[in-house]
Amino acid sequence: MEGTDNGTATAAAKRRASAADRGDKAARPRLDAEAADEPSPRKQAVLEAFGAYRDALDAHHDQRERVIKCSRDITALSKKMIFALLRITQEPLEKVFRDVQGKHKQALDLFRKMAADLQGSDAAKYNRQATPAIQEYIEAMGVWRFLEHNQLITKQQVEDSLDIGLPLPVTDEDYLLGISDLPGEVNRYCINAIGKGDHEAVRRCLEFMRHLKAGISVVLCACGAKGLLKKAEVLDSSLEKTEKAYYSMSPLRPLRAGGLRGYTSSGGRPKPDTLRMGQSDGGGKKGGGGGSGGWRNLFGFHPLAVLGAASLLASGYAMIYRPYKAWSDEQREKRSKQQQQAPKIKHTEEAIAKFPFAQKSVVFVLGGPGSGKGTNSARLVEDFGFVHLSAGDLLREEQKRPDSQYGKLIEHYIREGLIVPHEVTIGLLRNAMMDHPECDRFLIDGFPRNLVQAKAFEDTVCQAKKVLFFECPEETMLARLLDRGKTSGRSDDNVESIRKRFRTYANDTKPVIDAFAKEGKILTVSCQGSVDDVYAKTRAQVAELLGTIEKKAE
């Protein structure tokens, strides 16, 4: 009985232990879940690092996409600027420039957004995404510079045009690849000029592309960049097309160069012996009768081809030459009417040739906008008997002249703070000098503004004796111009135009001063001090100069 009770107790204990085990297994998933909600410190650190890396990747992706979007939009706007500029042969100049300036401002706004994502180390990180926009922009600005000044845009001028308030890297590689795309656009402009019969424009295109090819070739010899090498091949092709266009503008050039004798029916140059009409054929016959000799070699088939050629020439004369001659006469008459309005023929060519420009004493007066050129020049007139010619005043007078051919053009250049083409400015200055034949001393204020103007004036008018340079800090000039703008009524006396004039002065006029300084022609006057103090220094410099000139004359 007692043994039975012990066995029953043992079985009950086993059942209780089994039930406890089952309870533990049922509770285990709940305990594992609680353990997962509370990770270990090591696992927590890994999760935090992963989250930070994920956020960094998201930020990198967003920033990269922003740069790519701005780059695409800038590229599209730059292409539109180029297309607008190439319409310059078909639409009014003012309309074209107004359209281009609007697109340029939009491009600068996009550059400003993109530059915010390209600061510090990000400039190198996202350079590949920004490069297409920068290169296309350089190409557009290069076309603009070529059409306005017939010059190749420099890297410094590209950087100055990016007036966005933030530094934006323009690498040497971007600059070279950007300007190496110019030949294609210049070639398109050349084609448009051919359609207008503008032989001079085609010549300028050819000269520009030859100089560009020479420069690119030098760079290739130095570094041999792969991307530049590919574009150099396109440059060669564009240059070849431009050369062919230039040398074949006249439809009658082949005939004037020697008639049909210079060309075979296949379009190529024949061998010298095919040009002899009396050469023997395969059967030893002479002449061009019915044999296969000279006439056949010339025309390719049968002597009857002579009649066909004559008929072709007659129809060509009726279909090509007559319309061309009528169009040419119309263009010649149109140019004649334009020249009658131009300031440069106010005096006849004979009078210009006889005028003793070389005997005149010309002093250029240079300095930044608001440096006091006009004020001091007016006082020098009273003291020394100079005739004061202000290039700016002459341009504004020409702009207001009712029948002026250049009025709107001058207005555009002055408003944008740009340099008016030197042909217009020099024509006005030459006329003004000839209006004072009795005077031997001229103060020319605000001219030349660049090296091209300086050389053109010395080549067509006379050499300058000296250059009076007023050296003045930019802050002082800005304050003077803003104060003057309250009463002057001048369209260029506002902050935006003044800033543009300062940039133009720094880019274009400073090199003129440096060039004259090398020739020893600069008389520098510091503008620090009162108005009377500045003029006292100016007067002393000019008095010494005139004394030297008079001694040389004696």
- Specify binding-site residues for a ribonucleoside 5'-phosphate: 396, 418-420, 446-449, 453, 490, 501
Among 108, 94, 92, which Cα is nearest to 141's? 108
Instruction: Give the pairing of strands 361-367 and 387-390.
Output: unpaired
**Distance between terminal CA atoms of the chain?**
161
Round to whole Å and give the CA distance between 209 and 243.
10
Other CB atoms within 10 A of residue 432 CB: 21
Residue ranges for the known binding site are: 370-375, 396, 418-420, 446-449, 453, 484, 490, 501, 529
List of residues 6+ apart from 11 with CB closer than 8 A: none
CA distances to 128, 159, 202, 364, 428 from 505, in Å: 34, 15, 30, 15, 21
Residue ranges for the known binding site for ATP are: 370-375, 484, 529
DSSP annotation of 152: P
Round to whole Å and give the CA distance between 372 and 364.
14
| Tokens 């004020």, located at residue | 375
What's phi and psi for 530, nearest 5 deg? Answer: -75, 170
The helix (H) or strand (E) run that includes residue 471 is strand 466-471
Other CB atoms within 10 A of residue 378 CB: 15
Round to whole Å and give the CA distance between 414 and 97.
13
Name 367's bridge partners. 470
Peptide bond into 448 cis (omega under 30): yes
Among 155, 156, 160, 199, which Cα is nearest to 176's? 155
Radius of gyration of the chain from its Cα atoms, rounded to whole angstroms: 39
For the four alpha carbons of 514, 517, 523 and 524, in that order, the dihedral sign comes to positive
